[in-house]
Amino acid sequence: MAVGLGLLDTIDSPDDVKRLGPGQLTELCGEIRETLVRYGHLHGGHIGSNLGVVEATVALHAVFDSPRDRIVFDVSHQSYVHKMLTGRRLAYTDPARFAEVTGFTNPEESGHDQFVLGHTGTSISLACGLAKTRDMTGGAGNVVAMIGDGSLSSGVAFEGLNNAAEQGGNLIIVFNDNEMSIAGDFGGMYGPLARLRASNGTAQPNIFNAFGLDYRYVADGNDVNALVVAFREVKDTDHPVVVHIHTMKGLGLDAGSGKDAHAGASNTSHAEPWHSDHCNLSDAHAHAGQCEANHWLNPDSALGRPDDPRKHYGKLAMAALEKRFPAEPGLTVVVPATPGSNGITHAFRERAGAHYVDTGITESHAVAYAAGIAKAGGRPVVATTASFFQRAYDQFFQEAALNRTRVTILDFLGGLSGSDNTHSGAYDLTMFANIPGLTVLLPTSRDDFLADLAWATAPEGAVPGTHADGPVVIRVPGSPILDAERAGVELPRWCPSGHGTAAVSPLDWRVTRRGSRVAILGLGNAYPLAARVADALGAELGGDVTLIDPHQCSSLDETALESLRGGHELVVTLEDGQLEGGWGEKVTAYYANRRDERDAARNPRVINAGATKEFTDRVSLPDLCERYGLTEDALLARIRRELARGSDF
């Protein structure tokens, strides 16, 4: 246990915070900061964000009466301090209990948590709704939304701001202004915000006033007692008010890291410890990945590990694009605010110059913006995490697919993973592959991945078919593929004879081994598993079974599917995402609906393996694979059962 946690040890609920005098509140903040730094080094997490709001959170609980007063933390990755103060401090001080709480607010953990949130910008809308019902039903209590740290660039946050004044009534919006988004501030509003800070909150234009909102400014948002005064002033307000607090993200990390020996920490100066210029150095400095602002801190346990798949393949993609920048001025990487997690390094961004645009946390804008780039002849590549792309669903339909703009999407963390429930990639193919006109590729090797990127982003060519003619989603390979590549596993690769003489197209399914009786189709990350199952089954049956790497899931390759008739009694599809609305069911339905077109050839039966339609929260990938029968043993057993039954229906 760290030294000097005397006060924190006494906090079991917000009531215990309210007992403290001004000096003790400051002392408590110090202890919390120390706890956060220690926790961050050991466990990882959104430490920078939380260090910035230590005082604000303590002040909120000193002034407001949670849960009667409802506090909504936008995106909620900055809720660690809130959790410490609401009965969950041991989950941050006792390493044995670190796993007891999630990284986000969660009503199942505590009545002080209003929502499970992990996507940005909705706190004001949620708070407006809470306040609306309170006012309709004669309820009481304050409603507080805490937003900032880049979230204010999200469109839905502006929609919420515009709603707040119109609705009226008690609503307090704490704008946590730490001068940055995830990897630096982005956008025209940051200049006026800087002038607002410089004028101690008096300058115009004041964007909050422009949305019709009352406004207060707290210059030192890391002074707990100043915050207590400000919050007391607005508590029980009869109208919506914004409290703009100027905080310093990551405040205190250097003090904590001084105890450690990691070089990266010394990169953070006292003056601007977490600013973007110091961030995203994770390539060069062991520990400075901490300051990839909103994102996962690299804990001690991760030191020295090789890049995860996102960083690995992201770096490969950026390197391939970078080579083309001099000759292709319209080639542009567009990132809605999470570059570092996806291998889009600080050094790359510096070199890319105008070829790189961080749009802030604005997925809708990013995809529409890319459509504009493409329409004018440029080649945009939009890169972010699969679940965040959900926020641009309508833009995929309208501006990208319907307009056939040559937008390329790099879809990171798609498919099954041990992620929390707000960031799961299990639903990406259900989203993307059912949109008409969107091509969805799932490369299963480094070479495929780079070839797909080249095909999607190639200039218009004289030869039709040598490049995409509309928007393309490339699912970035995950750990099953990277692990296989690193281990030197030679997966069966494209065998052109399977498809006749046609050239390799990204749209052709790849029959990588031609056998009989059973065909195993492994989509994307499921391909290495498919290959293992095919090997084992072939040995068992005493003859090759057919293996297919479909490589894309936005259309069915009828040549490949028809080639399985007659010689195959069973087709097995494997995918590492949701079965319902997913890919395998389309294969099943294909054969079910095409029986009458091939009188001579018997239909193969089809079975599908993939994920159940459900939310999962931090269940490890191996556990998910067990749960869904996506293991070699489970699949072999299931295939044996099917074969034993024969064509008995």
Q: Which residues ranging from 380 to 439 are in contact with its own copies (CB under 8 A)?
A: 380, 387, 390-391, 393-395, 397-399, 401-403, 421-422, 427, 430-431, 433-437
Closer to its own copies by CB, 51 or 128: give it: 128
Among 13, 67, 98, 158, binds its own copies (CB under 8 A): 158
Helix (H) or strand (E) holding 520: strand 517-522
Helix (H) or strand (E) holding 372: helix 363-375
Buried b (16+ CB within 10 A) or exposed e, 560-585: bbebbbeebbbbbbbbbbbbeebbbb
Among 348, 356, 369, 455, binds its own copies (CB under 8 A): 369
Task: Output the smallest distance, CB 322 to its own copies, in A.
Answer: 15
Phi, psi of 342 (to 5 degrees): -110, 25
Closer to its own copies by CB, 103 or 240: give it: 240
Neighbours of 108 (CB within 10 A): 9
Residue 114 within binding range of its own copies, rule CB under 8 A:
yes
**Segment 492 to 551, residues that bind its own copies, using CB under 8 A:** none
Report CA dihedral (94, 99, 105, 109) to the nearest 10 degrees. Answer: -90
Buried b (16+ CB within 10 A) or exposed e, 466-484: ebbebbbbbbbbbbbbbeb
Task: Output the smallest distance, CB 110 to its own copies, in A.
Answer: 14
**Segment 234 to 293, residues that bind its own copies, using CB under 8 A:** 240
Q: Residue 198 to residues 168, 233, 464: CA-CA distances in angstroms?
A: 29, 22, 57
Closer to its own copies by CB, 95 or 329: give it: 329
Among 66, 153, 408, 444, binds its own copies (CB under 8 A): 153
Beta-sheet pairing, 546-549 with 510-513: antiparallel
Among 43, 82, 119, 568, binds its own copies (CB under 8 A): 119
Among 90, 156, 458, 619, binds its own copies (CB under 8 A): 156
Q: List Cβ neighbours of 485 (8 Å cut-off, separation of 6 or more).
A: 445, 446
Closer to its own copies by CB, 393 or 494: give it: 393
Among 191, 465, 543, 622, binds its own copies (CB under 8 A): 191
- Token reading at 50: 């939380």
Q: What's the rounded Cα separation, in Å, for the pair 171 and 631? A: 51
Residue (of 82, 87, 138, 137) closest to 114 by Cα position: 82
Choices 49-57, 288-296, 516-524, 579-587 (CB under 8 A): range interacting with its own copies: 579-587
What single-letter DSSP state applies at residue 298? -
Task: Output the smallest distance, CB 380 to its own copies, in A.
Answer: 7
Beta-sheet pairing, 331-335 with 143-148: unpaired
Closer to its own copies by CB, 125 or 342: give it: 125
Q: Residue 491 to residues 99, 504, 536: CA-CA distances in angstroms?
A: 36, 17, 14
Beta-sheet pairing, 408-412 with 472-475: parallel
The CA-to-CA distance between both ends of the chain, in Å, stands at 66
Closer to its own copies by CB, 55 or 399: give it: 399
Task: Output the smallest distance, CB 593 to its own copies, in A.
Answer: 5
Task: Output the smallest distance, CB 94 to its own copies, in A.
Answer: 28
Among 255, 507, 607, 636, binds its own copies (CB under 8 A): 607
Among 10, 87, 90, 155, binds its own copies (CB under 8 A): 155
Strand order in the sheet with 70-73: 70-73, 143-148, 171-177, 240-246, 214-218
Task: Output the smallest distance, CB 489 to its own copies, in A.
Answer: 29
Task: Output the smallest distance, CB 605 to its own copies, in A.
Answer: 7
Buried b (16+ CB within 10 A) or exposed e, 46-64: bbbbbbbbbbbbbbbbbbb
Choices 61-69, 290-298, 374-382, 483-491 (CB under 8 A): range interacting with its own copies: 374-382
Closer to its own copies by CB, 153 or 247: give it: 153
Task: Output the smallest distance, CB 331 to its own copies, in A.
Answer: 8
Among 10, 24, 26, 162, binds its own copies (CB under 8 A): 162
Choices 184-192, 262-270, 463-471, 618-626 (CB under 8 A): range interacting with its own copies: 184-192
Task: Output the smallest distance, CB 361 to its own copies, in A.
Answer: 9
Task: Output the smallest distance, CB 639 to its own copies, in A.
Answer: 11
3-state secondary structure of 175: strand
Residue 469 within binding range of its own copies, rule CB under 8 A:
no
Among 2, 115, 229, 466, binds its own copies (CB under 8 A): 115
Task: Output the smallest distance, CB 476 to its own copies, in A.
Answer: 20
Closer to its own copies by CB, 7 or 413: give it: 413
Among 540, 589, 620, 622, binds its own copies (CB under 8 A): 589
Closer to its own copies by CB, 192 or 418: give it: 192
Task: Output the smallest distance, CB 521 to its own copies, in A.
Answer: 14
**Could you tell me how many residues of this chain bind its own copies (CB under 8 A)?**
132
Map 222-290 to HEC letters: CCHHHHHHHHHHHCCCCCEEEEEEECCCCCCHHHHHCCCCCHHHHHCCCCCCCCHHHCCCCCCCCCHHH
Residue 190 within binding range of its own copies, rule CB under 8 A:
yes
**Segment 52 to 111, residues that bind its own copies, using CB under 8 A:** 70, 72, 107
Closer to its own copies by CB, 23 or 138: give it: 138
Task: Output the smallest distance, CB 139 to its own copies, in A.
Answer: 7
Q: What's the rounded Cα separation, in Å, for the pair 557 and 159? A: 43
**Segment 612 to 631, residues that bind its own copies, using CB under 8 A:** 613-615
Binding mask 324-363 for its own copies (x = CB under 8 A): -----xx-x---------------------xx-x-xx-x-
Q: List Cβ neighbours of 395 (8 Å cut-off, separation of 6 or more).
A: 363, 364, 367, 368, 371
Positive/negative CA dihedral, 336, 340, 346, 347: negative
Closer to its own copies by CB, 29 or 143: give it: 143
Q: Residue 203 to residues 189, 210, 216, 217, 479: CA-CA distances in angstroms?
A: 13, 12, 12, 11, 51
Rg (CA), the chain: 27
**Segment 123 to 152, residues that bind its own copies, using CB under 8 A:** 125-139
Q: What's the rounded Cα separation, in Å, for the pair 632 and 638? A: 10
**Segment 203 to 222, residues that bind its own copies, using CB under 8 A:** 204-207, 209-213
Task: Output the smallest distance, CB 549 to its own copies, in A.
Answer: 21
Task: Output the smallest distance, CB 466 to its own copies, in A.
Answer: 21
Contact present, 32 and 82 (Cβ < 8 Å): no
Number of H helices, E strands in the chain: 25, 16
Which residues, in sequence order, are bridge partners of residue 50?
none
Q: What's the rounded Cα separation, in Å, for the pair 567 and 582? A: 26
Binding mask 164-183 for its own copies (x = CB under 8 A): xxxx----------------
